Amino acid sequence: MSTDIVLIDDNEIHLQTTRRILQNYGFSVETLSDPVQSLELLPVINPRVIILDIMMPGMDGFHLLKSIKELPQFTDIPVIILSGKQFSPDKRKALALGAKEYLTKPVNSRDLISEIKKHI
Amino acid sequence: MGYLKFWGVRGSIPTPGPSTMRYGGNTSCLEIQCDDKLLILDAGSGLRNLGNALMGKGQAIQAHVFITHMHWDHIQGIPFFTPAYIPGNSITFLGADEADRSLQSIISGQMDPTYFPIELDDMGAELNFRNLSEDTYTINDIRFETLYVNHPGNALGYKFYLKDTSVVYISDNEPFDTSAVASEEMLGEDGNQKLIDFVKDCDILIHDAQYTQEEYEKHRTWGHSPFTFTVDVALQANVGQLVLFHHDPLHDDNAVDTILESARQRVHNSDKSLNIIAAQEGLEIAL
């Protein structure tokens, strides 16, 4: 059975809270806090949707998004950015790199669920 | 042991003129001399005067230039940095690249022939480029940490460990919206706590304080801080000395004086102590 969603964020509290809420909606969820390591684990987990932070140690979300999209099996995977950065240039950049949507924290959980349901 | 000197303290665009004579009108540039090492923090228009001063010493120059981000006011001094034209000098630029563009490409872009008559490749010094992310580094025996800060694009804050003195430099940064933190209805986090942890117990904090609180309300999502936030971070992080930085181009010397006085009053109204100054061109702090 494949995983519905992978959350990638360096903030553990945010990861756990978001995972619990998404699980309450019936999704299967895995969390990853290390962006560099996530490049190795994503092919193993093989999620249907990725939710990705931007400001993370080791590798920022823009570089990670580009690297994910360069993996053959993830060329078309829906990636939703969920970041505290509220700047329109960052949103434009993420969408140009292949993200489906750019949501900013704090985000209403209904809006996040609604975006996920477009892809699952 | 060394010193830290301000060569440019202004945000966004140079503001020469009689109304900014005391604090200065050049954009971001700091010099750190630590033993025999030269560190340059940002390469705004202040870099030109720093370059001229270094040339006056008549010595070969080996410099590391730490760039917070690639907006004009942080790189516009590079084409006018005379030491970069001198064979035998070595300049290493460090900063965060973009996912779709290298550090060298970003810096050389402003010297495209359309914008400037001399290209980066035509500068005579040895130029090196080192990409950084959020991490801990030791380069040329200089230990430092980096932090992604809240500003459009990939922007870094730096924490340098210089012998017995720690210096944090965060030129451009806006508070995160923490109006909701991790509830069933709203998903968020206290993004500002990471900043406080990074700054914790440093000896000198140089931080964006571009706006008053009233001005900030009109400039949300512009990527800068009201001085009130900057003071509160410094107080919570037990900082030794706070330097208000990145003065707004609309602020004359009297306006910066007023912000400085208000910042000191904010500390006075708290139950803590904190030494605050406003960054000023030519100001030198012994390390």
Going from N- to C-terminal start, the domains of chain A cover 5-117
Place of tokens 């993200």: A99
Indicate the domain borders of chain B: 2-286
B-chain residue closest to A92, CA distance: B153
Q: Which of B189, B193, B195 to mutate to test the interface with A (most CBs of A within 10 A)?
A: B189
The reply to whether residue B153 touches residue A89, judged by beta carbons under 8 angstroms, is yes
Closest CA to B229 of B243, B246, B212: B212
Q: B2-286 has which fold? A: Metallo-beta-lactamase; Chain A (3.60.15)
pLDDT tens-digit readout, A56-90: 999 999 999 999 999 999 999 999 999 999 999 99
**Alpha carbons B22 and A3: distance in angstroms, whole number:** 61
Query: What's the pLDDT at B173?
Result: 98
pLDDT, one tens digit per residue, over B88-122 is 999 999 999 999 999 999 999 999 999 999 999 99
Query: What's the Rg (C-alpha) of chain A?
Result: 13
- Is B186 strand, coil or helix? strand
A5-117 belongs to which homologous superfamily? Response regulator (3.40.50.2300)
Do A84 and B150 lie within an 8 Å CB cutoff?
yes
Q: What is the mean pLDDT of residues B203-207?
A: 98
Yes or no, beta carbons of B189 and A104 under 8 Å apart: no
Which residues on A lie below 8 Å from B188 (Cβ)? 14, 84, 105-107
**ipTM for this model:** 0.94
Q: What is the pLDDT of residues B214-249, one digit of tens each?
A: 999 999 999 999 999 999 999 999 999 999 999 999
Paired sense of beta strands B90-95 and B126-131, if any: parallel
CA A66 and chain centroid, separation = 13
